[in-house]
Amino acid sequence: MVLAIGGNALAPEGGADGATQAARAEHVADAVMRVRASGRRVLIVHGNGPQVGALALAQEAVAREVPPLPLDLLGAMTQGQVGVQLARAIGDRLEISEGARPVVALVTQVVVDADDPAFGAPTKPIGPFFPEGRARRLADARGWSVAEDSGRGWRRVVPSPIPREIVEWPQIAALLDAGQVVIAAGGGGVPVVHTPEGLLGVEAVIDKDLAAARLGALVGASTLILATGVDRVMLDFGTSAERPLDAMDTAEARRHMADGQFPAGSMGPKVEAAIRFVEDGGGTAVIASLEGAAAALDGRGGTRVVPAI
């Protein structure tokens, strides 16, 4: 099964020091061990939004002395950062329970289409906030796209293309077959495009839930768990008519999305990822809290997304 967790699980509110992130990795490891105890092989995909934002902010502070690195390399760096924190925490528990540390974190490249429409309409905010004047000057100097973000200031915005291929998926499948807990496609993976000269990194951010759905289908996962901050998906969220959903098929999910039930800035990407996973032949997708992931696997919680009949 694939467990997709957000970068905020390790760095709440957009940032935390290394010790705090390591402590929160212990919390994630507990949830992973509960899932592994069910006898399932486990593939973990994590977010990296807060970590990339912090790294971009640090780069900006020393930009005159050290030229900033491109976004694809920041993604690779934070894959390593979050991956090693999770691998340490999970490995410690595996060593106690199994006498070995069968866990590996793999830096993963994800192919996107060079002509994906997202490249013509960047919308994903990353990095620090700037006053409008400075943001526009940086945009002119560095070729950025910038936009105002929720009244808090101006930020760089980048494309968020659809993941098409996972470069290292055969290695990931082999590691899973060998009984390893695998951490891969962190932050949605390092975005690359095919060129006549080979793979080329691009300035973009891939949605980690969509990457998890694609990778899960490729390795033949039976279940995708999309961890979030609530126990179930809600209809009419935040209103007096709010009600939980225990299950929906992909056709129902698409109707609810068309009706605006799942906004792009919150539940929308998770529902879209669930639909893609199921329609790619991946089995069942479950949207649940991280703490409730193991119970949701047994049908005791979460919202299940299943094939349409």
- The residue ranges of the chain whose pLDDT is under 50 are none
Q: Could you tell me if 129 and 153 lie in one domain?
A: yes
| Whether 137 and 34 share a structural domain | no
Q: How far apart are CA 202 and CA 190, in angstroms?
A: 8
Same structural domain for residues 132 and 167? no
Residue 215 lies in a domain: yes
Residues 145 and 26 in one domain: no
* Helix or strand (DSSP H, E) at 24: helix 18-36
pLDDT in tens, 254-299: 999 999 999 887 799 999 999 999 999 878 999 999 888 888 888 8
Q: Which of 85, 24, 11 is nearest to 52 (CA)?
A: 11
Q: Do residue 133 and residue 260 come from a single domain?
A: no
Please tell me the predicted confidence (pLDDT) of residue 13.
56
Q: What pLDDT score does 307 carry?
A: 94
- The boundaries of the domain holding residue 55 are 2-112+163-306
Instruction: Give me the number of domains the chain comprises.
Output: 2
Q: Answer whether residue 259 is part of any domain.
A: yes
Whole-structure pTM value: 0.91
Would you please indicate which residues are annotated as catalytic (active-site) residues? 7-8, 124, 208, 270
Residues 151 and 227 in one domain: no
Residues 214 and 275 in one domain: yes
How many beta carbons lie within 10 A of that of residue 259, not counting itself?
9
In a shared domain, residues 170 and 235: yes
Same domain, 295 and 233: yes
Q: pLDDT at position 260, please?
A: 93
